[in-house]
Amino acid sequence: MKNSLVSIAYMFLITFLFTSLVSAVKFFNEEKILNNEKTKLQKVVLHVLDISIINKADEEILQLFESRIRVKKNLNDVKYYVAYENDVETISGYAFTVGGSGFWGPIEAIVAVDDKLSKIKGISFYKHTETPGLGARITEKWFTKQFEGLSLHPVSAGEKMFYLKPLGSKTDEKDLDAITGATGTSRAVENFLNSELDIILKNFDPLRKG
């Protein structure tokens, strides 16, 4: 009887220690993952706002982000980013989280605009589940680069600020190259990004809050 109780106590102790160890590892891993995701997002925001992070360590990026970027919320409690010049007084642009349904799942991006909301400074599609080699090419430099300098203006119903056209078929400055073989992803990006940009232009007023 005594041996049985000892065995049960021993098994309970081993189980408790193992469970505690697993919980501790999970906690520290989750914290590390969250920190990594935070750093990744900071890099994306700085990049699209044309603030160089080349050859900078994570600590330097954090300092740069905290000195040049202010995180604020609009009247609808939606977060956005305000970028400042080196003098930390002159606004150089704004960045917004945008996204929508892709071909295989949600696509999330950060888009940056100039201080007058008149053109795109940069864009990064940083989270998606599109097909590697096809829709996943939305992250490639040639694709995102063509959005830089794109003029922004409110549009009427049925109009768009830009169109993604098959390679070689552009006829207007609003036409950008779609991804060959990824019509679904290209159409999804065209639809949700035009919609999100239109909402930003019609509703964003930095003077109303922050």
What are the boundaries of each domain within the chain?
A: 71-203
Minimal CA–CA distance to 185: which of 122, 132, 106, 130?
130
Measure CA 34 to chain center: 15
210 pLDDT band (50/70/90 cuts)?
A: very low
Higher pLDDT, 170 or 208: 170
Instruction: Quick: pLDDT tens for 8-41.
Output: 666 766 776 666 665 555 555 677 777 788 889 9
- Can you tell me the mean pLDDT for 74-96? 90
Q: Which two tokens stand for residue 21?
A: 């160890």
Q: Which pLDDT score is estimated for 143?
A: 97
Q: Exposure string (b/e) for 58-87, b if CB count within 10 Å is 16 or more?
A: eeebeebbeebbeeeebeeeeebbbbbeee
pLDDT above 90 covers what percent of the chain? 66
174 pLDDT band (50/70/90 cuts)?
A: very high
* pTM metric for this prediction: 0.80
Higher pLDDT, 205 or 194: 194
Q: Which pLDDT score is estimated for 20?
A: 60
Minimal CA–CA distance to 74: which of 183, 173, 199?
199
